[in-house]
Amino acid sequence: MSASPPAATGLPFDDIRALVASMPGPDEAARAAAWERQAHLVKPPGALGRLEEIAAHLAAWQGKAMPQVLRPMVVVFAGTHGVAERGVSPYPSAVTRQMMDTFTAGKAAVNQICATFEAGLRVFELAVDHPTPDIVEAPAFDERTCAGTIAFGMQAISGGADLLCLGEMGIGNTTVAAAVCHGLYGGTAEDWVGAGTGADEAVMARKIAAVRAAVALNEGQLADPLEVLRRLGGRELAAIAGAILAARHEKVPVVLDGYVVTAAAAVLHAMDPSALDHCLAGHVSAEKAHRALLERLRLRPILDLGMRLGEGSGAALAVGVIKAAVACHTGMATFAEAGVSEG
């Protein structure tokens, strides 16, 4: 279930930029064929609402008029963060490794959701015994290690998948996600900080202070989104960005989870506004800034259940809806096949 931490590959940011510049677009013929089929299925046009859009999205990004979700895969990346030692989470960093063990034992929330929808689950450990430096004091990575971690994340689909759901585990990472968003979009630290696992007033004040100080430390250095990731991010965020990019190149649609995963995705969006066109937002989490972030990225969440867990749980839950969308699209009869009169 776990893999070794990333050895720095020496892959520089220019190689990441080249992968972003060469992203394939959607298969518009497959999308059009999917909508054409939807128009003839035995239901009033549009009656399946968002399910119809999801089916057409999968057709466009898998490149087939009849998309499939036979091998949905949930990939959870885990990392640890120096900034966690500032008391920005009610929980200690040790929980990250303990939750890895819980995933392996099949006993976390995401395990149960994956089992419910017959989704695979892989957990990638990213050197959790070696936290990235405290972003208030130093960049999280040097360029080589950041690029190497992005490249490592590209392995997310190496086992094969026709739908990739992304998740994360890393105590303190809602602080890191807020720093990345503040670094990308400006505003104030307060705009981007939320309660995470359940911060009280004192923890919230430390989170806001940490995010403000981390961004201030890097003033004038954040015009390049990859620099935002390198200076203010963390290993699981870098790996998630790599996974999204690899999936795009391999025609695998992606389902994003909560605020942390979406913040990692935002780095790619800032590099190229079309970089997330193959992604669906599995849900909007209860983390304060997630809704605003999704709106900025023009992503409409599939579910809105007040969840604020992470682990890929919201993305995994959306697999149920996505599978149903594909089942309707591929399995329903047309009016002609069913012998039902069209209006």
Ligand X SMILES: Cc1cc2ncn([C@H]3O[C@H](COP(=O)(O)O)[C@@H](O)[C@H]3O)c2cc1C
Ligand Y SMILES: O=C(O)c1cccnc1
Footprint of ligand Y (CB under 6 A): 174, 196-197, 257-260, 285, 287, 290, 308, 310
Beta carbon of residue 193, minimum distance to ligand Y (angstroms, whole number): 12
Residues with active-site annotation: 311
Beta carbon of residue 150, minimum distance to ligand X (angstroms, whole number): 19
Q: Which residue is nearest to ligand Y (CB)?
A: 258
8 binds, among ligand Y, ligand X, none (CB under 5 to 8 A by kind): none
Report the residue number, 211 or 270, with the smaller CB distance to ligand X.
Answer: 211
141 binds, among ligand X, ligand Y, none (CB under 5 to 8 A by kind): none
Residues pairing with 338 in the sheet? none
Report the residue number, 62 or 132, with the smaller CB distance to ligand X.
Answer: 132
Question: Per the structure block, which two tokens stand in for 251?
Answer: 């025609």
Q: State phi, psi for 332 to the nearest 5 degrees.
A: -70, 150
Question: What is the Cα–Cα distance from 73 to 149, expressed in whole angstroms?
Answer: 20
Count of helices and strands (H, E) across the chain: 15, 6
Binding residues for ligand X, per CB under 6 A? 89, 91, 95, 99, 168-175, 196-197, 309-311
Question: What is the Cα–Cα distance from 89 to 80, expressed in whole angstroms?
Answer: 12
Report the residue number, 35 or 91, with the smaller CB distance to ligand X.
Answer: 91
Given a contact cutoff of 8 angstroms between Cβ atoms, the answer to whether 141 and 13 are in contact is no
133: DSSP letter: P
Question: What is the Cα–Cα distance from 10 to 248, expressed in whole angstroms?
Answer: 22
DSSP string, 189-231: HHHH---TTT--HHHHHHHHHHHHHHHHHTTT--SSHHHHHHH
Report the residue number, 141 or 259, with the smaller CB distance to ligand Y.
Answer: 259
Report the residue number, 290 or 329, with the smaller CB distance to ligand Y.
Answer: 290
Core vs surface per residue 189-226: b (16+ CB within 10 A) or e: bbbbbbbbbebeeebbebbbebbbbbbeebeeebeebb
Beta carbon of residue 259, minimum distance to ligand Y (angstroms, whole number): 4
171 binds, among ligand X, ligand Y, none (CB under 5 to 8 A by kind): ligand X
99 binds, among ligand X, ligand Y, none (CB under 5 to 8 A by kind): ligand X
Beta carbon of residue 128, minimum distance to ligand X (angstroms, whole number): 11
145 binds, among ligand X, ligand Y, none (CB under 5 to 8 A by kind): none
Beta carbon of residue 323, minimum distance to ligand X (angstroms, whole number): 24
Question: What is the Cα–Cα distance from 237 to 232, expressed in whole angstroms?
Answer: 10
Return the amino acid letter for 26: P
Beta carbon of residue 69, minimum distance to ligand Y (angstroms, whole number): 23
Report the residue number, 8 or 286, with the smaller CB distance to ligand Y.
Answer: 286
172 binds, among ligand Y, ligand X, none (CB under 5 to 8 A by kind): ligand X
